[in-house]
Each structure stands twice: as structure tokens, then as C-alpha cells.
Amino acid sequence: MRRPFQSVWSKMVSSYIAVVLVIALLLGSIFYLFFSHQYSEEIRINKQMMLKNTVNSIESSVIQRVHQIYLSLALGSPVNIDLDTFKGNHSKVLDIQQLLQNQVQNHSDLIQAIHLYDTEDHFMISSVHGLQLYESTPSGAGGTADWIDAMKETEESSLWMHTRMVPQDPYTELTEQSSMNPLISYVHSYPFQSSGQDCELMIAIDIKESAVSQIIDNMLPADYESTFIVDPNGTVISAADKSLLGRPMEEHSLIQSLLSFNPADGSSAHTFDHGSYVVTHDQFAGNGWRIYTTTPDKSFYYKMDGLKEGVLMVCLLAVAVGIAMSSIFTAAGYSPLKRIMNNIKSRLDSPVGSKQITGFFFI
């Protein structure tokens, strides 16, 4: 009695199935490696494009608008902001303050306040505070006027300040219970080409950080919590976690490592705090800010689970079809062979056939 799988039929079926399995597994592995690589690249490219669109939206909706507001004040304003003509004309203070308030009102979604500071006579006209006189540079005026000292130290004509927390009510003293607004100040000198060290007037525009974060939230809703904007010095400008605003990135263990990235890298995988992340980043052309999005690998590649399942189902289907076809082909190939074997066996069993076959072998 023949042992199982020793018959011709079993061997033919096994050989067909082995060929089917090898081909299915080989093709499935090749397809998975190829399509997973292509899919991963598509995800990276898509994330990079979304981040680029976010940068373009912030540049057009925030940075360029702020530049236009400055130009409208410095060059196209119906009220002359040259404060040299202020002396002896006290009504001009009200005109300038009204001008600033109108600009703030017209751009209330973006602007919190606008300030004009005279560097020679040390007084400021603000859309919020009105006229403020100082005996010297108001370095002790708290965070609301820190842009004056910063501007005096730069040789450039403009300056983007880092985000700082300012009380919602400018007339209350700053306490731990005060309601705070995160503001970003853009400061530009007047006249237009003068530097911060030799300008006659400084124009400061306080920008709402919420205007920037709202764009990020709208453009990158899935990545909003893990998206950060930092200035060239590594200070956080915008983030979902408002406690990070105005703080150096070195104070946060995760985003500290982002400073070492080359903005030209685009998108790449990195490991922080024993976790693997895909970091996508880009740079603003208008002021040198950089934007980073850190996405955990699991959440970045989770969509590939569907690809794995799809390839597995195709492989299983191919194996099932291959086994069915191998059974058909085995039956088709084994039937003639079986008839020949039966014919030979029947002749061997008969005396006449045995002699014929024996004679055949002796010829």
C-alpha cells in the first residue's frame, strides 16, 4: 500500500501548488514593497504640499497684509504721521490715534493694536493707550514696549518680534490672574529706508497669534496639535500649546531636536524621546520663520494597513485560484497518463500481452 503523498496524483498536485505558492508570494512581496514605497512617497509629498500651502496662506493673509498696513500708514495715509509737526498742534494726536484705531478696526481679525514711537522726544501714540510720554526709552514699560529696545539694536529697517503675552485690558496691572493675549509685533522704521538705530519714528503693529494658529488649524486640522512655528532664533512663535509661546525651543525636549534639521530636507523620519516621528518642515520667505509638523510613525503610516490587507487578500485569492486551477490541470494531465498506465498494466496481466511486451523488450 502506497504511503500518502507518494502517488503520482499527489506529487503532481503538490508540484502545482508549490509553483502557485512561490509565484503568489513572490509577486505579492514585490507588489507590496513597490506600492508601499510609492504610497509612502505620495503621503510625504502630500504632507509637504499641505505644509507649503499653509506657509503661502500665512504669508499672504498675515505677513503681506501687515506690510500693506505699514505702507498705508507710512506712504498712503491721509494723516501725516511725521511727528515733527506734532509740536504746537495737539489736535493732531487725536487725528493720528483715530487713524490707528481705524486701521485696527478695519483689520480686527489680524491686528490688536498699532503704536507710533518718536525716538528723539520719547513719546508714543497708540491706538490703545493714546499719548504716552517717557523721560527716556521706555524699557521699563513691561512687555508691551520691548520692541523699542529691540528695534534700537538692529541695523535693519524692520523687525519681527517673538510672541509675547500681553494683558487683554491694557489699563490693568499684570498679575497671575490677568487674561493674556499672545501677540506678535512687527516693527518698521520711518522714514522707510532708515535702520532701527537711526530712524525718526518706529511703527509697531501688534498681530494676534490666533490669526496664525487659526490658519494652521484650518489648513492642517489633523496635524494642528503637533505643528510649531519658530523664528530664526529658535523661539516659538505659534503653537497649539500656548504655554510654549515666546519660549526657546530648548525648553521642550521634543521640539528642541528640530533646530538641528536642515530646512532643505523637506520631510524625513527622526527619533525623539524613544519615539519615531516623521518631521515635515518649510520656511517662510518673508521673515525667516520656520514651520515644523511632527507626526508619529504609527499615525503617518496607519493608512498603509489597508494596503497590506489588500495585498494579502490578493495573494490568498491568487493561491485559491491557483489551487483550483492546479487541480483541474492535474486531472487533465493525469487522466491520459492513467489510461496509458492502466493499458500497460492490463497487458502485463494477460499472458499474450506479457509475451508481446517481453518480445518487444528483446528486440
d(CA 246, CA 231): 10
User: Residue 137 gets which letter from DSSP?
Assistant: -
pLDDT for the residue 26 = 76
Q: List domains and CATH numbers for the chain.
A: 42-301 (3.30.450.20)
pLDDT for the residue 56 = 94
Residues of the chain falling short of pLDDT 70: 1-13, 16, 32, 35-37, 77-90, 135-144, 168-178, 249-275, 299-307, 326-327, 329-363
User: Residue 123 gets which letter from DSSP?
Assistant: E
Q: Which amino acid is at 274?
A: H
How many residues would you count in the chain? 363
d(CA 199, CA 180): 31
- Using alpha carbons, select from 132, 267, 147, 275 the residue that is nearest to residue 206: 147
pLDDT for the residue 12 = 65
pLDDT for the residue 235 = 87
- Using alpha carbons, select from 170, 119, 124 the residue that is nearest to residue 144: 170
Assign 174 to helix, strand or coil. coil
pLDDT for the residue 184 = 94
